[in-house]
């Protein structure tokens, strides 16, 4: 029989042996040496050096950027305050002197005007080519003006300002600079739309289509010869100018406001600071009292189409047209208004490839007198009206045709084609 004392004595012996075995396997605790402490000190000092260096670099390179951004914000705040004050004052209808009005217009328009400069790998191609060969356009020389048309960075300018450019830079009124992307161009009106990655911009206000009359006081703003934010005063000298200036789709406004190379793409505004035109062309190589602007309603249509589609779609009938003679109008018993030389548009031929007008039943010598319910006053006006209508839309023409020497009125409904690219 086992005794309790014997069992008691055996248990501590077993545990003691187990513990000693574990201790012997793990070994004694390691004591840090002076070499380990030196290495830790080196690592600590290196980390401090890296942090200090990065902090200094951020301070050296980051501080100018932060200061610049603060300056931009302060300048933008001043510009916005002047813009708001001018907007309120101009909308109040208060009569001011020309000097006061000019100051208010300048304060309202300035935030929406930008300076554009470009870079091209082939500068010879830029300086030797003209968009409108029959006119004396601004030489682009790598710089021009632009108009902010949306809060999110869309800017309207002239095509010849950015033509053949590899890089386009925009300088805003708050002195900040941005690289721009070309969204689309339109050769017929010499307009282009670009975009910068910047929000919270102040866009130009568009004037109504009927806001332009001969004698209206206007202001031109831009960067003549690179002199940014320059403003000049004049009047509308004439409207509907086309001959020897550009294409039928431009329908220029003529003004005597001082406009020079570098004003290309800048705004022409009325006494309320609203856009009535985009300065585009001059007669001669510098200001001679005559300059031309694309009307605001044309510019808005082009801008909207370029923003939406990146291109401009124009209606097309495939017709050759001329202004009808007085004798022909007399045969049709059509009376010419006292203030006009002709009326309507006479069909003389059809496009050789395809003519939507011919397919719809139009014949040579027909006189088109209405387009979509609006009177056709001339060939130029008719072509412009068709061009303002996108291809693929339905249209209605009223025309006069001689049948057995009797003038008959004929109504034709058709779908407009799209003007081919030239």
Q: With beta carbons less than 8 A apart as the criterion, state whether 405 and 344 touch.
A: no
- Cβ atoms of 260 and 233 closer than 8 Å: no
Q: How far apart are CA 184 and CA 304, in angstroms?
A: 11
CA distance 271 to 105: 7
Q: In the numeric block, which tokens belong to residue 303? A: 């801008």
d(CA 331, CA 358): 23
DSSP 8-state class, residue 30: P
CA nearest neighbour of 265 among 280, 250, 275: 280
Q: Where are the alpha helices (DSSP H) in 217-343?
A: 296-309, 326-331
229: left (phi over 0), alpha (psi -120 to 50) or beta: left
In what helix (H) or strand (E) does residue 397 lie, and over which residues does it extend? strand 394-403
Euclidean distance between CA atoms 384 and 144, whole angstroms: 27
What distance in Å separates the CA atoms of residue 105 and residue 86, rounded to the nearest whole number? 7
Give the tokens for residue 401.
């045709």
* End-to-end Cα separation, the chain, in angstroms: 121
Active-site residue set:
160, 190, 264
In sequence order, what E strands does 247-393 have? Answer: 252-255, 267-269, 274-282, 291-295, 315-316, 319-322, 345-350, 367-371, 374-375
CA distance 415 to 85: 49
No. of helices (H) and no. of strands (E), the chain: 10, 21
Which helix (H) or strand (E) segment holds residue 49: the answer is helix 34-57
Tokens found for residue 90: 């101009």
């Amino acid at each position: 029989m086992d005794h309790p004392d014997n069992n008691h004595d055996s248990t501590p012996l077993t545990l003691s042996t187990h513990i000693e075995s574990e201790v012997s396997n793990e070994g004694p605790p390691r004591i840090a040496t002076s070499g380990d402490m030196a290495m830790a000190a080196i690592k600590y000092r290196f980390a401090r050096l890296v942090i200090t260096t990065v902090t200094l670099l951020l301070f050296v390179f980051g501080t100018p950027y932060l200061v610049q951004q603060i300056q931009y914000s302060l300048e933008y705040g001043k510009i916005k305050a002047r813009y708001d004050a001018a907007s309120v004052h101009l909308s109040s209808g208060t009569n001011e002197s020309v000097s006061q009005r000019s100051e208010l217009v300048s304060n309202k328009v300035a935030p929406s005007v930008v300076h554009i400069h470009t870079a091209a790998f082939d500068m010879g191609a830029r300086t030797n080519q003209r968009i409108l060969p029959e006119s004396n356009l601004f030489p682009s020389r790598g710089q021009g003006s632009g108009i902010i048309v949306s809060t999110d960075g869309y800017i309207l300018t002239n095509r010849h300002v950015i033509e053949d450019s590899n890089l386009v830079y925009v300088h805003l009124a708050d002195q900040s600079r941005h690289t721009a992307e070309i969204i689309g161009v339109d050769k017929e009106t010499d307009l282009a739309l670009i975009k910068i990655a910047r929000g919270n911009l102040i866009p130009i206000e568009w004037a109504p289509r009927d806001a332009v009359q001969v004698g209206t006081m206007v202001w031109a703003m831009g960067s003549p010869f690179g002199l940014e934010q320059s403003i000049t005063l004049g009047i509308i000298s004439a409207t509907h100018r086309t001959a020897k200036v550009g294409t039928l789709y431009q329908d220029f406004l003529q003004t005597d406001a001082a406009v020079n190379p570098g004003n290309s793409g800048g705004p022409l505004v009325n006494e309320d600071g609203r856009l009535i035109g985009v300065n585009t062309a001059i007669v001669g190589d510098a200001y001679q009292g005559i300059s031309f602007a694309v009307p605001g309603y044309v510019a808005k249509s082009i801008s909207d189409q370029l923003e939406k589609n990146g291109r401009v779609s124009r209606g097309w009938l495939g017709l050759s047209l001329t202004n009808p003679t007085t004798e022909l109008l007399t045969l049709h018993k059509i009376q010419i208004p006292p203030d006009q030389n002709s009326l309507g548009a006479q069909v003389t031929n059809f496009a050789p490839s395809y003519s939507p007008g011919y397919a719809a039943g139009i014949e040579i010598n027909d006189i088109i007198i209405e387009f979509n319910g609006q009177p056709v006053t001339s060939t130029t006006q008719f072509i412009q009206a068709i061009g303002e209508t996108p291809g693929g839309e339905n249209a209605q023409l009223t025309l006069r045709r001689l049948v057995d020497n009797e003038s008959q009125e004929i109504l034709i409904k058709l779908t407009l084609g799209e003007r081919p690219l030239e």
